[in-house]
Structure formats: C-alpha cells, structure tokens
Amino acid sequence: MTVIFVDTNIFLHYTPIKDIDWVKLIDTSCCKLLIAPIVIDELDKYKEDNSNKGKRARNSLKLFESFISSGADTIRDSVHLKLIHNKPIEKTYSENGLNFNEQDHRLFASMIEYRIENPNDSILICTNDIGPRLRAKQFGFKSLVLKEEYKLKSIESPEEKKIRQLEKELSQVKSQLPKLAITFGENKSYYNFHVLSEFENKDDFLSREYDLIKNKYPYLKNEYPDLNSNLYHSFLYETMNKHSDEIIKAYNNDLDEYLENYKEYLSYVFRIKEEESRTVDLKLFLINSGNAPALDIFLKLNLPVKAKVFDKNN
C-alpha cells in the first residue's frame, strides 16, 4: 500500500484533496492519505483567520469531521483517508534528532512511527515546501510535489484587500512625517569608550606631588661664611640684605602651614582627576531624515542609577 502524508500547506494553497487525482499522480491502483496530528493542530490555528487560507482551513476540518462522523474511509475512487489521532511519543524525537518545537519535525515523527508499525507500506510526503522535501531524504522518505494546475490562485479576500489598502495609506502618512534618530556623530548609533578601573595609587600621587612643591619652595637658611675666608668682606657687604633670624623663622613657619594645607589640596585634586578619568564626554546629534520638520522634541536618556550627569557649560 502506498500512503501519502499530506502537509498543511497543501490544504491552504491547493485544490481540495478530494478533487485531486492521487492515483494518477503516483501511478498506482490504490493509495491512502494520512493526516498527522500536527496538521490538524495547524489548521485549527488558521480557521479563525478571515482570509482565504482561513476559509480553506475550515473546509478541510469540516471534511475530516464528516469522515469521522460517518465512519467512511474513501475520499474518492481508490483513495482512502485516515486521520492519525495519537501524537508521537517523546522517545521518537530523541532517537531521531527531532525537535518537538519544530512543526515539520512533528510531522516526520508521525511518519517514522507509522513506518515502524507498517514496514511494508511505501510512504511519501506531499508538501509544497522545500525544507521538508530535503529533510525527507534524510529519513528515507520520498516526496510528492503537486502539479501547478492544482495550485489555487491567490485571491484577496475583502479583509485582506482592506488591510493592504490601510497599509498603503499608513505608508503614505509615515512618508510625510519626520524621521528622527540620535547618533554619536558620523551617523554612528553607538559609542565605544574605555573607563580606567583606577586612575592612580593615591599615596603615590600625594607623595610625588608633595615632593615637587617642597623642592620648589625650600626652607630659608641663614648661612654665614668663614670669617677668615676671602668671602668675609663680601659677607659684610651682603649681610645687610640677609634675612634676620626672626624673618626666616616666620617664613619657614608660614611654609609649614602652606605645605600642610597643600596636602589637603592634593587630596582634592586627586579626587577630581580620578573622577575625570571615569568621565565620558557625550556628544549627541539629532538627525531628521524624514520629509517634515520635527517640533516639540523631547529626549529621554536612561542612565545607570549611580551615574552623574554634568553640563560642562554650567
């Protein structure tokens, strides 16, 4: 016996199965059409559609229901019809590398289980899709492609025509609107930047900067030359310009206070520099590629909770 598993797309895009000369197509005296559970499930999804596909799905389901009610199994001369009610078991999917979430895989699972129970039957799959036909070879099944004469013309239903007209009108409206985009310059929709994990070791920074200021402003010392040296007379000449001990002491005390305050200043400078190392200068550009000016523009930025935003102009 030659059996044909009919894919869902045949019911949606081709002549009703009762009007197709299956015997002539496969050159046999008798054949059986098999309807897998996944096909019924898919037709159930389409039946609520107001399009032509929805109408065909409803007619196919009514045909199945009439056969079940009447107990008949012959759809036309020498062509029988059978609905498979039991869905494939999980083991069939796992052993054959099939995915339950793939609709085509569910159809092949039913075909594989049927072959196990009916090893003497010749099994074909009738489908309009290339994917299932290619996969059929993987499992050792033959494919049947219906002739073009059986394919139904694509006729728009009133609902489909209305939807197409509305889509056209919507497209015309959109073409007359502004089309805004935010970029980071050069029409880039992204901006890469690198943030240092640590600016510098704080102790190293303070020590280096403190040494620089100490070398720049040394303590004053009142040094006198040897009285027996040749410099003695020059010293007497210059001694009037020398700082007195009191002035030197006062200067050095002020220098100590300055250096102490400078330490606090360096801590503040370090904190500022560290924040600058983690600061990104964002330059946003608003581009309008539409056919109308944009008015009353409102831009909302979503930033991390801990992020601080500054306006460098303020």
> For every residue of 56-69, which 3-state class applies, written as one string?
HHHHHHHHHHHHHH
Model pLDDT for residues 176-233, shown as the tens digit of each residue: 888 888 888 777 888 887 776 667 888 998 999 999 999 998 888 766 555 455 544 4
The residues near 78 (Cβ < 8 Å, ≥ 6 apart) are: 23, 29, 30, 31
Strands 122-126 and 79-83: unpaired
Question: 189 and 292 share a domain?
Answer: yes
> For position 226, what pLDDT does the model report?
52
Helix (H, G, I), strand (E, B) or coil at 171: helix
For residue 206, the number of C-alpha atoms closer than 13 Å in the C-beta half-sphere is: 15
pTM of the model: 0.52
CA-CA distance, 100 to 115, in Å (whole number)? 19
Query: Residue 66 is part of which domain span?
Result: 2-158
Question: 117 and 219 share a domain?
Answer: no
Q: How many domains does the chain have?
A: 2
Tokens of 42: 């898919």
Question: 206 and 309 share a domain?
Answer: yes
Give the Cα-Cα-Cα angle 9, 12, 16 (nearest 5 degrees).
110
Give the Cα-Cα-Cα angle 263, 267, 268 (nearest 5 degrees).
115
Query: Residue 207 domain-assigned?
Result: yes
Question: 18 and 146 share a domain?
Answer: yes
Nearest Cα residue to 125 out of 107, 138, 113: 107
CA-CA distance, 95 to 86, in Å (whole number)? 18
Question: 182 and 276 share a domain?
Answer: yes
List the CATH number of the domain containing 81: 3.40.50.1010
Place of tokens 């609520």: 48
Helix (H, G, I), strand (E, B) or coil at 202: helix
Task: State yes or no: pLDDT of 155 exceeds 80.
Answer: no
Tokens of 278: 């983690």
Question: 10 and 146 share a domain?
Answer: yes
Query: Residue 29 domain-assigned?
Result: yes
Model pLDDT for residues 79-104, shown as the tens digit of each residue: 999 999 999 999 999 999 999 999 99
Query: Residue 167 domain-assigned?
Result: no
Model pLDDT for residues 260-311, shown as the tens digit of each residue: 999 999 999 998 888 888 888 888 888 888 888 888 888 888 888 888 887 7
> For position 236, what pLDDT does the model report?
47
Percent of the chain with pLDDT over 90: 48
Helix (H, G, I), strand (E, B) or coil at 182: strand
Question: 96 and 10 share a domain?
Answer: yes
Nearest Cα residue to 39 out of 71, 99, 84: 84
Question: 219 and 303 share a domain?
Answer: yes
What are the DSSP E strand ranges found in the chain?
Answer: 2-6, 31-35, 74-76, 79-83, 122-126, 142-144, 180-183, 285-288
CA-CA distance, 160 to 165, in Å (whole number)? 9
CA-CA distance, 26 to 114, in Å (whole number)? 20
> For position 188, what pLDDT does the model report?
83
Question: 26 and 99 share a domain?
Answer: yes
> For position 117, what pLDDT does the model report?
95
Question: 151 and 199 share a domain?
Answer: no
Helix (H, G, I), strand (E, B) or coil at 52: helix
Question: 231 and 185 share a domain?
Answer: yes
Task: State yes or no: pLDDT of 257 exceeds 70.
Answer: yes
Nearest Cα residue to 199 out of 262, 269, 303: 269
Q: Burial level of 210, CB count in 10 A (0-12/13-18/19+)?
A: middle
